[in-house]
Amino acid sequence: MEDFEYLKPTTTAEAVNMLAQHSGEARAIAGGQSLIPMLRARLVGPAYLIGLEAIPDLARIQAVDGSLRIGAMATHLEVATSALVRQRASILAEAEGLVGSPAVRNLGTLGGNLCHNEVGADPPPPLLALGATAVIAGPGGDRKLPLEQFFTGFLETALAEDEILAYVDIPAQPPGLASAYVKYRLRAVDRSIVGVAVALAIEGGVCREAKVALGGVGPVPFRSRGAEAVLSGNHPDERTIEQAAGAAMAEARPMSDAHASADYRRKMVAVFTRRALKHALGMG
Amino acid sequence: MATRQQVQLNVNGEVYDLEVPPKRLLLDVLRDDLGLTGARRGCEDGFCGACTVLLDGKAVHSCSVLAVRAAGHQVLTIEGLAQNGKLHPIQEAFIQHGAIQCGYCTPGMILAARALLDVNPHPMEQDVRWGLTGNLCRCTGYVKIVEAVLAAASGQ
Ligand SMILES: Cc1cc2nc3c(=O)[nH]c(=O)nc-3n(C[C@H](O)[C@H](O)[C@H](O)COP(=O)(O)OP(=O)(O)OC[C@H]3O[C@@H](n4cnc5c(N)ncnc54)[C@H](O)[C@@H]3O)c2cc1C
Ligand code: FES
Ligand code: FES
């Protein structure tokens, strides 16, 4: 590991200033669960690490103007067990409870997970299905970005070098939301081979609005507009579900790796989209 | 550039004032600076759990924590678990149930089990297995390990 200096700002503004001052040489560190292995492997070698752990505002989970605001430094454990998250964004709490192992959940953070943007990460699909927004702090103040636009490429995000992810905002969900997150992996500590989150607004037996989000099956997590179009305005019966699962599969752009081949992943998209929809709708 | 930083670590109730390079891992400080070799180096990647210690009562991988980050927090290693020369009930149960083979994973297993029982004192078998998902045993002694943790929980 290269040498670095460890700085510990106590406010978000101070953290942003430090990043700007050492632009190109500094990097934020949250729980370190992804970054420390990367430093050790010399994949990155910043001269300054900006530790975000002493900024209380970034660790808060709170209700703000009808939406749920989760600080980037909230740990996976805190998000998974928060009463507020369970009540308002239960599929996110479920997904966070499936991240890695207890030790990873104890230190790893929601913000670190999103900024790392690793293929197969669990929190992104539920957040996309719930229509979340990223609140990004930079030298010029805060900017908001739909989370869908936050993930720009393999291990890449929309953050500039002098910006940090401050919060994730989740809007109030329609009453009677039917939602589910299902994760497919072989060992408990693995990222998902396929992760599917669905959120359906059901009114009088008809799906008024549908969001279907996939992880693990493309360079970035994404919403399947095809599956959503099949479901929207329709009665979600077996046939519709089957069509939606096929549409999701057609949109997947998976890669092959040690865990699964691209072909296998693509097939599993249909299987797990079907399961997520049935689970959300109480059809087994 | 500052190459060393002052850190005060509280390990097993003792306070240590150290000067370390910021890149130094908690695992290296424990093993090489403090001589507490119960935390083992396995994968160094967060997967095996051999390096597990408790930070403020929660299991963490000391291979993935900087020493500067642990400053000001309570660290518990396997060396700090016995009280007044008497083994902790989980340690006793591991011996009684033959849950130790080579012993490489044992400190991490026992500390992960301790953290689990602190939160859930009466776990079901499934809870124990789930609580130990981050700890690998290459001797594949999982059945005995789970039995030992359940026995410790039920006071046997
Ligand atoms: C053994 C193991 C198993 C895992 N299994 C899973 C799994 O099943 N599912 C899953 O989803 N994830 C899994 N992960 C990844 C885990 O979720 C990590 O905790 C997470 O990816 C990183 O969070 P962190 O807080 O540790 O971030 P760090 O490692 O500290 O940072 C990660 C990256 O994000 C940047 N960063 C962090 N916070 C901010 C911020 N607020 N603003 C700007 N940049 C920031 C850092 O500069 C760095 O580039 C696993 C990790 C391990 C080690
Ligand atoms: S050595 Fe730390 S988890 Fe394997
Ligand atoms: S007893 Fe040998 S690794 Fe577990």
pLDDT tens profile B17-31: 999 999 999 999 999
Q: Which atom of ligand 1 sits closest to the CA of residue A109?
A: 25
Q: Check whether B46 has a pLDDT greater than 60.
A: yes
pLDDT under 70: residue ranges of chain A: none
B108 vs A: CB within 8 A: no
Residue A114: how many other CB atoms lie within 10 Å: 24
Q: Check whether B2 has a pLDDT greater than 80.
A: no
What residue of A is the nearest CA neighbor of B56?
Answer: A106
For A230-234, the CB contacts below 8 A with 24+ separation are: A231/A200, A231/A207, A231/A277, A232/A207, A232/A208, A233/A206, A233/A207, A233/A208, A234/A206, A234/A207
What residue of B is the nearest CA neighbor of A6?
Answer: B22
A4 vs B: CB within 8 A: yes
Q: Check whether B105 has a pLDDT greater than 80.
A: yes
CATH of A178-280, one of 3.40.630.40, 3.30.420.40, 2.40.280.10, 3.30.390.50: 3.30.390.50
Domain boundaries, given as residue ranges, for chain A: 5-51, 56-170, 178-280
Locate tokens 């660290």: which residue? B75
Percent pLDDT > 90 in chain B is 96
Residue B8: how many other CB atoms lie within 10 Å: 11
Mean per-residue pLDDT over chain B, rounded: 96
Q: What pLDDT does residue B11 have? A: 98
**What is the A7 CA–ligand 2 centroid distance (Å)?**
25
CATH architecture of A56-170: 2-Layer Sandwich (3.30)
Query: In order of start, what are the domains of chain B with their CATH numbers?
Result: 5-80 (3.10.20.30), 89-154 (1.10.150.120)
Q: Does the A5-51 domain belong in CATH 3.30.1490.190?
A: no
Contact between A89 and A176 under an 8 Å Cβ cutoff? The reply is no
Cβ distance B22 to A100 less than 8 Å, yes or no, reads: no
Percent pLDDT > 70 in chain B is 98
Q: What pLDDT does residue B3 have? A: 81
Q: Check whether B149 has a pLDDT greater than 60.
A: yes
Write b or e for each residue in A18-50: b if 16 or more Cβ atoms lie within 10 A of its Cβ, otherwise e: bbeebeeebbbbbbbbbbbbbbeeeeeebebbb
Element containing residue A209 per DSSP (H, E): strand A206-215
Q: What pLDDT does residue A56 have? A: 97
ipTM value > 0.90: yes
Strand-strand pairing, B74-76 and B5-11:
parallel
pTM above 0.95, yes or no: yes
* Structure tokens, A51: 């530790």
Give the separation between CA A122 and CA A127, rounded to whole angstroms: 9
Cβ distance A103 to B23 less than 8 Å, yes or no, reads: no
Q: Which atom of ligand 2 sits closest to the CA of residue A103?
A: 3
Q: Which residues contact A171 (CB under 8 A, 6 or more apart)?
A: A66, A67, A130, A131, A132, A133
* Structure tokens, A188: 């408990």
- With a 6 Å cutoff on the Cβ, whether A104 touches ligand 1 is yes
Q: Which atom of ligand 3 sits closest to the CA of residue B102?
A: 2
In A108-158, at which residue ranges do the beta strands (DSSP E only) sit?
133-138, 141-146, 151-153, 156-157
Q: Which of A4, A6, A107 sits opposite B65 (nearest CB)?
A: A107
Cβ distance B58 to A188 less than 8 Å, yes or no, reads: no
Q: Check whether B1 has a pLDDT greater than 60.
A: no
Strand-strand pairing, B14-20 and B5-11:
antiparallel
